Amino acid sequence: MLKKAKFLAVAAIAVLSAFVVAAGIPSEVYAQTDTEGTYEWDSTDWDWEDSDYDFSDTDWTTEYDYGYGSSELTPEEEAAIRKAAIGVATVVLIPTLIVSLAMYVFMAIALMKIGEKVGVDAGKKWMAWIPIANYFYMAECAGLEWWHALIALFFPFWLIYVMMKIAERRGFSMWTGCLLLVPIANLIFIGYLAWGEPKQSA
């Protein structure tokens, strides 16, 4: 086994040596031929007057326009695209604004009704319509201190706790306040707190 390993090692060294020698031959030959004489091309070696090629018609200032950044649309096409964009924006934005406004009005009216049911001072109903102020109105509806409104402003998840306290004060299960997290259901929940009546236990 040891003899076989030595044989393979010697064979590998011999093959590697042969490869190195073979690789070095072309470089040596090129070095020898290169030292015998080199030629460097000089533009003065070209006889421009005796050349058969006529350079007089060559335009050396040719500029290529690849069209990068340029618009290939006609003014009519640009106007049509602009009108289409305005139309799409109108179709999307106007219904969104209408729905948002309707939801805001509904929430303000429901909040006023809740305040009325829990005995909040009627002179403070206007707070239900004003952003930020309505947070303080909700805190008062819940029977909580004003600083709960500040916490809800900076940490919206605290609003869930406020609504849970409102539900509890209205006579409902306080856990119904978690419905505030569910889209659409939260509107139903607010309306239920405002106009619904808790079931009387037998």
Q: How many whole angstroms separate alpha carbon 34 and alpha carbon 151?
A: 86
Which 3 state secondary structure label does DSSP give 189? helix
Say if CB 142 and CB 169 are below 8 A apart: yes
Per-residue confidence in pLDDT tens, the chain, 202 aa: 545 445 455 455 554 555 444 545 444 444 444 444 454 555 555 555 555 656 566 655 555 555 555 557 888 888 889 889 888 888 888 999 999 999 999 999 999 999 999 999 989 999 999 999 999 999 999 999 999 999 999 999 999 999 999 999 998 888 888 888 888 888 888 998 999 888 765 4
b/e string for 155-172 if b means 16 or more Cβ within 10 A? eeebbebbbbbbbbbbeb
Q: Domain ranges for the chain, please list them.
A: 75-195
Q: How many whole angstroms separate alpha carbon 108 and alpha carbon 150?
A: 19
Q: Looking at the whole model, is its pTM more than 0.75? A: no
Angle at which helix 147-154 crosses helix 133-141, to 10 degrees, equals 130
